[in-house]
Structure 1
Amino acid sequence: MARKSWIQREKKKKKLEQKYHLIRRYLKKEISKVKLLNDEQWKKIHGKLQSPPRNSSPTRLRRRCFVTGRARSNYRDFGLSRHTLREMVNRCLLPGVTRSSW
């Protein structure tokens, strides 16, 4: 089980990311329209893009298991960590998943 403080921190980052998502997307579109890299307009837009908090960036988010909160070895299709996935497959709680054994 992950620490509760880590899980709360991730929730806070998710909220920030959603808050600044549209602003980021708009500024990135504006930057793509500007042709010259040394242009003053580009520098102005780039400065605005740097102004939101760091934790509002989507790359700072981690996928976590929604049952245990484990951050590592998550399966995107299920949203579960490998430990939880194995337990659920053994109990036949996930339809369509077959266990492999050899």
Structure 2
Amino acid sequence: MAKKGMVEKNKRRQKLSQQYAGKRAALKAIIMNKELPIEERFAATLKLAELPRNSAENRFRLRCEVTGRPRANYRKFKMSRIALRELGNKGLVPGLVKSSW
């Protein structure tokens, strides 16, 4: 089980990234537009730097919904490999069948 503080920090990051997504996208569009004057693009860069760091989408980490484990997660199930195997063996994951040959 992951530390509760790390899980909560990640939830705050996800919430911030959703909150600032539109503003960040608009500023990045201005920065990438080569037809605009360099001064306007530089001003947009400074505004982007003023936004909170945790509002960047790449600071959000995919974590297991069951245990909070940060590594080896399956996006489809939103679970780590360990939790997926345990719940799959119990038959609690719909659509997951234990293979045997």
Matches within 5 A, 1:1-102: 1-35=1-35, 39-102=38-101
Question: How many residues are aligned here?
Answer: 101
Deviation, structure 1 residue 73: 0.6
TM-score, with length taken from structure 2: 0.89
2:31–2:42 contact (8 Å) kept in structure 1:
no
C-alpha offsets along residues 81-102 of structure 1, whole Å, 9 cap, x if unaligned?
1111001110111222222345
C-alpha offsets along residues 17-36 of structure 1, whole Å, 9 cap, x if unaligned?
12211110111122232337
Unaligned runs of 5+ in 2: none
Deviation, structure 1 residue 57: 0.5
Structure 1 runs of 4+ with >6 Å offset: none
Segment drifting more, 59-68 vs 13-22: 13-22
For 2:60 and 2:13, locate their aligned partners in 1 and report how far apart those are by CA, in whole Å. Answer: 7
1:72–1:81 contact (8 Å) kept in structure 2:
yes
Does the residue aligned with 1:78 lie in a helix, a strand or coil? coil
TM-score, with length taken from structure 1: 0.88
2:63–2:73 contact (8 Å) kept in structure 1:
yes
AA of the residue aligned to 1:90 = N
C-alpha offsets along residues 17-59 of structure 1, whole Å, 9 cap, x if unaligned?
12211110111122232337x8111111111111101111000
1:63–1:74 contact (8 Å) kept in structure 2:
yes
- Aligned CA-pair RMSD: 1.6
AA of the residue aligned to 2:92 = L
1:34–1:41 contact (8 Å) kept in structure 2:
no
